């Protein structure tokens, strides 16, 4: 965890490093009740400069829409209950959904970045599992065509 905090608080981050830091925060927050998670985030934000608005906006945006995001994941993770997903996969899926729906990032890039996170932080079968769920969400919600028109 110390490596994460060093990465999170350094002055200059690439977008991929910022995404990894955001994923790690989403993952960490999954161990807390919603009200505790927001309190922890507020304390951290007060004590430290998050360094990249992408991280603070992504964390607050993900948790502002957590019910909708989890509902989409649940509807598209056929045969899986959210409780059965690994916390790592769940955090990656939450971030991927947030980026696909609530940011200007093209859907194909959001999916690819989620798959890359799974390759780095999750088990061997996770990248294809995450790719399948995010593509299903994008297809069922017509996110790919909307993304291509921008």
Instruction: Name the residue ranges covered by the structural domains of the chain.
Output: 2-149
Q: Measured between alpha carbons, how far is residue 52 from residues 9, 40, 99 in Å?
A: 9, 18, 16
- Assigned token pair, 145: 């065509």
pLDDT of residue 11: 53
- 94-138 pLDDT tens trace: 999 999 999 999 999 999 999 999 999 999 999 999 999 999 999
User: What DSSP line would sit under 24-37, residue for residue?
Assistant: HHHHHHTTS-HHHH
Rounded distance, CA 136 to CA 150, Å? 21
Residue given tokens 């957590």 in the structure block: 66
Dihedral sign, Cα of residue 11, residue 12, residue 18, residue 21: negative
Query: 12-16, 23-27, 30-34, 77-81: which has the minimum mean pLDDT?
Result: 30-34
Residue 6 has pLDDT above 50, yes or no: no
How many helices (H) does the chain have, and how many strands (E)? 9, 0
Class for domain 2-149, per CATH?
mainly alpha
- 44-93 pLDDT tens trace: 666 555 567 888 899 889 989 999 999 999 999 999 999 999 999 999 99
């Amino acid at each position: 965890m110390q490596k994460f905090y060093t990465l999170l608080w350094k002055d200059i981050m690439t977008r991929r490093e910022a995404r990894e830091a955001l994923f790690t925060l989403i993952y960490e927050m999954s161990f807390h009740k919603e009200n505790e998670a927001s309190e922890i985030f507020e304390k951290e934000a007060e004590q430290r400069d998050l360094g990249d608005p992408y991280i603070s906006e992504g964390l607050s945006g993900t948790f502002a829409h957590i019910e909708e995001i989890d509902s989409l994941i649940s509807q598209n993770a056929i045969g899986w209950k959210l409780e059965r997903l690994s916390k790592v996969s769940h955090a990656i899926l939450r971030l991927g959904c947030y980026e696909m729906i609530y940011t200007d990032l093209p859907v194909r890039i959001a999916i690819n970045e989620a798959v890359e996170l799974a390759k780095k932080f999750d088990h061997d079968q996770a990248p294809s599992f995450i790719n399948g769920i995010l593509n299903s969400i994008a297809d069922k919600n017509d996110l790919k065509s909307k993304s291509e028109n921008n």
